[in-house]
Amino acid sequence: MTTSFDFEKPIADLLQQIEKVQQIAEKTKVDMSGTLEELNQQLNTTREQIYSNLTGWQKVQISRHPERPYTLQYIEMMCQDFIELHGDRTVKDDKAIVGGFASIGGQTVMVIGHQKGTNTKLRQFRNFGMANPEGYRKALRLMKLAEKFNKPVITLIDTPGAFPGLEAEERGQGEAIARNLLEMSVLRVPVICVVIGEGASGGALGIGIGDKVLMLEHSWYSVISPENCSAILWRTWDFKERAAECLKLTADDMLKNRLIDGIIPEPLGGAHYNPAMMGGILKERILNELAELKNKDIDTVVTERINKFCAMGVVVE
Amino acid sequence: MQPYSIEMAWFKRDKKGIITSTQDKKEAPDGIWNKCPQCKKPLHYAEQVENNYVCHYCNFHLRIGSAEYFALLFDNNEYTELYGNLMSADPLNFVDTKKYTERIIDSIAKTGLKDAIRAAHGKIKGQDIVIACMDFNFIGGSMGSVVGEKIARSINYCIENKVPFLLISKSGGARMMEAAFSLMQMAKTAAKLALLSRAKIPYISLLTDPTTGGVTASYAMLGDINIAEPEALIGFAGPRVIKETIKKDLPKGFQTSEFVLEHGFLDFIVDRREMKNRIASFISLMNN
Ligand SMILES: [Zn+2]
């Protein structure tokens, strides 16, 4: 692991200690396996402790870890025969949203997701996972294609928001997202959405209307990022930790408020700590959800999807 | 998403229902005068009402609320308000510089409104219509659970009673104090509009100054026809955010109604003084 967080300092310290003991053992040829085992146990306990008591802001940090798996990596880990499809047939191919047909557990699905880059150059190429209208329109085109051939849709959400650019406004960023919300709510195939990292506002929701909306354990989902929330409500970025708490953006809070349908556990230390294991867990969950949805007739699925979103909100009468 | 702007609305309704500006109010012997925010010329209150709150001199469309739009559009200003008792809860116990509950109570006291939208059933040139209209004075016209729920119920009402639906948007976007609950109102209203569309009931979306953020990215852009008042700010991201992102000045007229029309996202722009005629004639064409 190349990047570690402030709150992981006890873990980093232990790792350092273990390395030192190993070096001493090697140099002096003294058997220190007892000490090492003790330290490793301590490491595990510390990791468990830290990762089971994360604050909202700490989860936001984990969700942005540069080594966290992104959509294409998940597709590679979970699927066979992925055929990536490009373009919205109107303007261009948006690199911040990818998608295509693939086979998962022997069945064909349409997988669509935000894509972030894995190095500086690719991060720019992918526009940091911030889609333009043509990204949302490509996603809709692919969903309609899936509907035509009766294949379920799986979306993987990971975006700091829809891109706030000049061309994005010219080409109707608002209309593109709005259209997806409407069309996805009545799409006549099962739809499973998973927030795998950042779920920021309309940019996330634009591919987020599903029969099952799930969140990875350390992902976040809200109307705005904690930094921007802090900037607007407190007029400074200094309140981002506080804003993260206020927004109730963690998977636990979102489930408690019945705004999502479930949480997918991550390996100890986060998805980036063991991507292969994370891919396995996600694949298994998707297959289970698909099996459940396939048992229902599509009219029921769509009606339940609409009713679920229409029940969201709290008012006083 | 563009969150609500804390900028003061130019107009406030006082307890007598008279429109006055906070800064530019001048008591004259025969009534109240305002300065037009655009051309700065004095406008007499009675003249504003008479001219549908449009400046005589420069055609600037003054910012008005649901009461004024209802008076403008419903025959004889007669209507039945729908779901008027809905009020915001505080599901997240949100506290920023102020408690959300206090913010709501203060806004209710200040505006005489229950939340940022009102809905009503009435007639426009003798034809049934349901109008839902946002109020910018209530926490920047921000979209929280009440806005979503009232729109959802109004759509149900339109489907049950087979009545066309007009939604007048005027909003800074999401209500941050309801966080993800606010976000999901986009999904909720869009899903309901899919059902309205399936029922083949006309939906007119009227965008007024300003319409931004999550409102633009949901119901405001989903009309069978999208129309707007002249020179309104319409966009998804706020101009300031875009400017900071692209690190360039924005072109003149960017994100105005005229710009949005030119790029193909509006059907037409309607002057407020012709609004009732244009909307009534569209509904008449759909009905006959
Ligand atoms: Zn004027």
Summarize pLDDT for B130-157 with one digit per residue, the tens: 999 999 999 999 999 999 999 999 999 9
Confidence of residue B8 (pLDDT cuts 50, 70, 90): very low
pLDDT (average), residues A195-203: 98
Interchain contact A24–B (C-beta under 8 A): no
Report for A231-235, B21-25, B280-284: range of highest mean pLDDT: B280-284
Across A24-37, average pLDDT: 92
User: With an 8 Å Cβ cutoff, is B245 touching chain A?
Assistant: yes
Strands (E) located in chain A: 80-84, 97-104, 107-114, 153-159, 191-200, 212-216, 220-222, 262-264, 315-316
B47 CA distance to ligand 1 centroid (A)?
A: 12
Pairing of strands A220-222, B42-44: unpaired
For residue A88, give the 3-state DSSP assignment. coil
pLDDT of residue B7: 34
For A239, nearest residue in chain B (alpha carbons)? B96
Q: How confident is the model at residue A2 (pLDDT cuts 50, 70, 90)?
A: low
Q: Residue A135 and residue A159: Cα distance in Å, rounded?
A: 12
Tokens read off for B80 = 């039945």
Take residue B69 and report the two structure tokens written for it: 């739009």
The answer to whether A10 and A31 have CB atoms below 8 angstroms apart is no
Query: Using an 8 Å Cβ cutoff, are A174 and A283 in contact?
Result: no
Given a contact cutoff of 8 angstroms between Cβ atoms, the answer to whether B122 and B79 are in contact is yes
Split at pLDDT 50, 70, 90, the class of A152 is very high
Q: Token pair for residue A180?
A: 């997806």
ipTM: 0.96
CB contact under 8 A, B180 and A185: no
Task: Report every protein residue that has its C-beta within 5 angstroms of ion ligand 1.
Answer: B 36, 38-39, 55, 57-58, 60
Mean pLDDT of chain A: 96
- Amino acid A3: pLDDT: 67
The amino acid at A86: H
Task: For chain B, say whether A228 makes contact (Cβ under 8 Å).
Answer: yes
Is A316's pLDDT higher than 90? yes
pLDDT above 50 for A273: yes
Q: How confident is the model at residue B21 (pLDDT cuts 50, 70, 90)?
A: very low
CB A306 within 8 A of CB B195: yes
The amino acid at residue B113 is: L
A153 bridge partner residues: A110, A191
Closest CA to B254 of A162, A167, A202: A167
Q: Which residues contact B173 (CB under 8 A, 6 or more apart)?
A: B1, B2, B3, B4, B142, B143, B212, B213, B214, B215, B216
Where in A37-114 does DSSP place strands (E)? 80-84, 97-104, 107-114
Average the pLDDT over A129-155 and give the result.
98
**Mean pLDDT, to the nearest integer, of A167-191?**
98
The strand pair at A153-159 and A107-114 is best described as parallel
For residue range B28-54, list pLDDT tens digits in order.
545 677 889 999 999 888 888 999 999
Q: Establish whether the linkage from the previous residue to B230 is cis, with ω within 30° of 0.
A: no
Q: State the amino acid at position B181 in one-letter form.
A: F
Question: What structural domains does chain B harbor?
Answer: 31-62 (no CATH), 64-287 (3.90.226.10)
Instruction: Write out residues 130-189 of A within 8 Å (CB-CB) of B.
Output: 161-166, 168-175, 177-179, 181-183, 185-186
Q: What pLDDT is recorded for position B136?
A: 98
Output DSSP code: residue B177. Answer: G
**Residue range B177-204, pLDDT digits in tens:** 999 999 999 999 999 999 999 999 999 9
Torsion of CA A159, A161, A164, A165, to 10 degrees: 10
Residue B15 — pLDDT band, cuts 50, 70, 90? very low
CB A186 within 8 A of CB A192: no
For B56-100, what is each residue's pLDDT tens digit? 999 999 999 999 999 999 999 999 999 999 999 999 999 999 999
B179 contacts on A by Cβ (under 8 Å): 222-224, 246-249
**What percent of chain B has a predicted confidence (pLDDT) above 90?**
83
Q: How far apart are CA A225 and CA A241, in angstroms?
A: 11
**Model confidence at B16: pLDDT above 70:** no
Phi, psi for B224 (deg, rounded to 5): -60, -40
For residue A153, name the pLDDT band (cuts at 50, 70, 90): very high
A109 at interface of B, judged by CB pairs closer than 8 A: no
pTM of the full predicted structure?
Answer: 0.94
pLDDT of the residue at B47: 86
Query: What CA–CA distances, in Å, run from A119 to A67, A123, A128, A133?
Result: 10, 6, 10, 24
A78 Cα–ligand 1 center, Å: 62
The SS3 of residue A20 is helix
DSSP SS3 for A121 = helix
User: B2 vs chain A: nearest CA distance in angstroms?
Assistant: 9
| C-alpha of residue B221 to centroid of ligand 1, in Å | 29
Distance in Å, CA B58 to ligand 1 centroid: 4
pLDDT confidence bin for B22, thresholds 50/70/90? very low
Which residues between 198 and 217 in chain B have a beta carbon less than 8 angstroms from any beta carbon of chain A? Answer: 198, 213-214, 216-217
DSSP letter string, A276-306: HHHHHHHHHHHHHHHHHHHTS-HHHHHHHHH
Whether the CB of B182 is below 8 Å from some CB of chain A: the reply is yes
Q: What are the C-alpha distances in Å from A158 to residues A36, A230, A268, A276?
A: 38, 21, 20, 18
Place of tokens 């960017």: B254
Instruction: Tell me the nearest-neighbour CA distance from B44 into chain A, angstroms.
Output: 36
How far A23 CA sits from the closest chain B CA (Å)?
49
Is the per-residue pLDDT at A295 higher than 80? yes
User: How many C-beta neighbours within 10 Å does residue A262 have?
Assistant: 13
Percent of chain A scored above 90 by pLDDT?
97
